[in-house]
């Protein structure tokens, strides 16, 4: 993308956005050193109007908004995106015009029926850093013991395997039913927690990717901790990193924690240290609009990120030498 062709207003927005991205703590990409994964519900990501300004006051997503979305996504190696709609023109523009040929896309089909809200689940990935491993599929729940069909998810969860250098991992993303009451979400949250534990983590040795399973997406969980929804999500052993526990994932005066990144304790064989955070872009872009108006251009959710340290060499040597890697300069006492 040629930044010299952007207006002063957009350039200022991007500078503010870059400052927010840096403030989130998300690291730079380092070849063979780290792996940066994320999740983002991009509000009704469908079509867009081919203009930089507003179109007769229309709240539709425009080219200016697409530039901001691309600015965020390019910081990830793989990012799961929810609420991609049947019409994929905005996604195609993002890939073909803004991110370019170095980026790939994998999408599920639209889940049939009104409850699916014509939504797809997707993964956008940096080809220079990761490649699909060949594993991909939508999650279908098995029938009950009696042989009766089980009610399926409103929006079928989607899992894809990837390879980064010699490391294999899989990402399972979902957009859980919202419903009129909190209790409407319990069934799907319990089902995905059970499925991830039994069918994926419990049988991890059957695939290379299964040993490193990341569960992430929009789970419509209002709060963490003692919340029944959060308890259902974590009931089978999924753990949300402590860095994300108190971070809101939507704009507004009342914090919401709809979006999650989680894995099973001891279930990431190839990953070592990690850090995590959120990119809060509220009031950084479209400052002339209200936050609600902005949300229809960019999103009403913030992207979550987790960065894993792929280089295990220091940790492996520290174990050999019985050194505490948590100290400021762990190898300072090692004599020549």
pLDDT digits (tens, 9 = 90+) for 207-234: 667 679 999 999 999 988 889 999 999 9
What distance in Å separates the CA atoms of residue 46 and residue 192, rounded to the nearest whole number?
Answer: 26
Give the three-state DSSP class for 116: helix
The set of residues, in sequence order, having a beta carbon less than 8 Å from that of 156 and lying 6+ positions away, is 108, 111, 116, 121, 138, 139, 140
Is 261 within 8 Å of 214 (Cβ atoms)? yes
Phi, then psi, of 322 in degrees rounded to 5: 60, 50
DSSP 68: H
Of the candidates 148, 102, 156, the residue with the CA atom closest to the CA atom of residue 125: 102
What distance in Å separates the CA atoms of residue 194 and residue 233, rounded to the nearest whole number?
Answer: 9
Both structure tokens of 299: 């999103």
pLDDT at site 296: 94
pLDDT at site 204: 65
pLDDT at site 228: 95
pLDDT along the chain (336 residues), means of 10: 89 97 96 94 92 67 95 98 96 95 96 88 97 94 75 94 92 95 92 93 70 94 91 96 93 88 83 88 95 95 95 77 77 80
pLDDT at site 164: 93
**For domain 3-321, is the CATH number 3.40.50.620?**
no
pLDDT at site 149: 67
Torsion sign over Cα 124, 294, 87, 101: negative
Q: Per-residue pLDDT tens for 286-302?
A: 999 999 999 999 999 99
Torsion sign over Cα 47, 53, 59, 65: positive
Enter the pTM of the model.
0.91
Beta strand residue intervals within 28-87, DSSP E: 34-45, 78-85
Domain ranges of the chain: 3-321
H or E stretch covering 191: helix 186-195
**Euclidean distance between the first and the last CA atom of the chain, given in angstroms as a whole number:** 50
């Amino acid at each position: 993308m040629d930044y010299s062709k952007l207006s002063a207003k957009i350039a200022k927005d991007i500078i503010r956005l870059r400052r927010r991205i840096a403030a989130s703590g998300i690291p730079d990409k380092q070849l063979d050193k780290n792996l940066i994964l994320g999740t983002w519900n991009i509000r009704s990501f469908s079509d867009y109007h081919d203009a930089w300004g507003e179109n007769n006051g229309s709240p539709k997503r425009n080219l200016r908004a697409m530039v901001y979305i691309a600015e965020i996504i390019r910081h990830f190696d793989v990012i799961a995106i929810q609420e991609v709609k049947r019409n994929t023109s905005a996604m195609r523009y993002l890939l073909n015009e803004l991110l370019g040929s170095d980026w790939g896309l994998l999408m599920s089909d639209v889940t049939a029926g009104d409850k699916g809200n014509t939504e797809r689940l997707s993964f956008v990935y940096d080809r220079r850093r990761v490649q699909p491993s060949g594993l991909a599929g939508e999650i279908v729940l098995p029938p009950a013991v009696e042989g009766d069909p089980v009610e399926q998810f409103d929006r079928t969860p989607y899992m894809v395997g990837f390879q980064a250098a010699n490391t294999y991992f899989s990402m399972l993303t979902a957009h859980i039913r919202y419903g009129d009451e909190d209790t409407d979400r319990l069934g799907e949250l319990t089902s995905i927690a059970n499925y991830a534990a039994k069918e994926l983590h419990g049988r991890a040795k059957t695939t290379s990717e299964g040993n490193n399973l990341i569960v992430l997406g929009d789970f419509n969980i209002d709060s963490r901790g003692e919340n029944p929804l959060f308890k259902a999500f974590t009931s089978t052993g999924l753990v949300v990193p402590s860095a994300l526990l108190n971070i809101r994932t939507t704009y507004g005066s009342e914090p919401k924690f709809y979006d999650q990144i989680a894995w099973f304790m001891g279930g990431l064989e190839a990953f070592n240290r990690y850090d995590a955070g959120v990119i809060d872009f509220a009031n950084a872009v479209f400052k002339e609009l209200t936050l609600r108006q902005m949300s229809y251009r960019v999103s009403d959710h913030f992207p979550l990120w987790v960065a894993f340290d792929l280089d295990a060499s220091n940790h492996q040597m520290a174990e050999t030498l019985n050194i505490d890697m948590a100290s400021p300069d762990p190898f300072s006492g090692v004599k020549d």
